[in-house]
Each structure stands twice: as C-alpha cells, then as structure tokens.
Amino acid sequence: MPIFIQKKEKEIVEHIKLHADLVEETVKSFVAALDLYLDREKQKSQEFTKQSHKLEAQADEYRRKIDREMYEGAFMPSIREALYLAVDAVDNVANEAETTGDILTLVEPVIPDEIKGDLKIMGELTSKCVEYLRQGVHNLFDNIKLVFDQMREVERLEGEVDKYVWKTLNMIFKELKIQKFSERLMLREIILHINNITNRMEDASDRLDMIALKLIT
C-alpha cells in the first residue's frame, strides 16, 4: 500500500523521487572518483568529483523545492513532518559524498597498496547501499511493503562497511610501516568519511522505516 496521494501532491512526489535519484548519482560519482584515485588516475578522478558537486547542487535545489511545497500544506500533518525529516536525512547522504570527494581531491592522501582493495570493496558496498536507499524512497509511494526489506539491506551493508573501516584503521595504525603520523591521520580521515556516507544512509533508513510503520499500522 503506497501513501495516499492527492492530485496536488503528485508533483512533490516526483520531486522527492528525483531528489533520491540525484543523491544516488552523487554517491556513485564519488565512488567512481575513489576507484580512479586508487588506480592512480587522479585527473579522471577529479572529473568525477566535480560531477558529484553538480549533482549534489541539483539535489539541493529539489530539497528546497520540497521544503517549500511541504510548508504549503502537502500531505496529512502526521506524515508531512516525517517526510520532511526523511528527505533531509537522504540529502545528508549527498552532502557527505560531496565532502568526501573534496577531501580526496584536495588532500590527495597517499594510500598504501595493502588497503586499496579494501577501499574498493567499501566503495562497492556504498554503491549497493545507496541503490537500496533510493528504492526505499520510491517505494514509499509505489509499494510500501518493500520498504522494510530494503531498509534492512541498507543497515546490513552499512554494517559490512564498518567491518572494513576497522580492518583498514587497524592496519594503518598497527601493521603498516607509514613513517609520518600525519599521513596516518589523513588516511584515517578519508576512511571515516567514506564510512560516514553509509552512516547517513542508515540514519535515512530509520526515517523511512518510521514513515512505513505509520502507514501500515
């Protein structure tokens, strides 16, 4: 059962879906930038970082439109605030992806070969995670019963990323011979920011779960 949509609310529903689409594209642009950086293709990596900036800006435009439309009285009051908070939480995902891309491009951390494979896996998991998040947003309006399973996948994938975060941090601070402590800190920063992308997705999944529960119970 989807959210009951009145005629005047169809446009805002499309904006919410398009916003989720742009958030997904922003995250995937960052992951592409990360992969290229790990492959020592810095110039191509920067192109995808710039692309993530443009996509995040477009997502922000839709978020502002959605905010205005919400305040004009779209949806029932019991759902309106929950939707507003959910859209904001989804938007935070794009913000974090953009920030992480900036750190990668501006700081240019020296990444040891020993952890490159793990970072690539983190990127793959992040891409899968945002796909489920986007599907969950769409299914609030298309097939709400699917939202719970999709949000469980978001949480599962976030947990998988966490495992690689601790694995790579342990290697950086306890196993690898990195001469400068500042380089260890830079690596720690980029890894934690990658982790923050999926953390933001988990926050958004909680919001979507709350809406789905309100509508089904």
For the chain (length 217 residues), average pLDDT per consecutive 10? 64 94 98 97 96 97 91 79 93 98 93 97 98 97 93 98 97 91 94 98 96 81
Quick one: DSSP state of residue 73?
T
| Rounded CA separation 198/170 (Å) | 20
| Rounded CA separation 115/125 (Å) | 15
| Rounded CA separation 138/134 (Å) | 6
Task: For residue range 76-126, list pLDDT tens digits in order.
Answer: 777 888 899 999 999 999 999 999 999 999 999 999 999 999 999 999 999
The secondary structure of 161-186, three-state, reads HHHHHHHHHHHHHHHCCCCCHHHHHH
What pTM does this model have?
A: 0.94
Contact 74, 141 (CB under 8 A): no
Contact 209, 101 (CB under 8 A): no
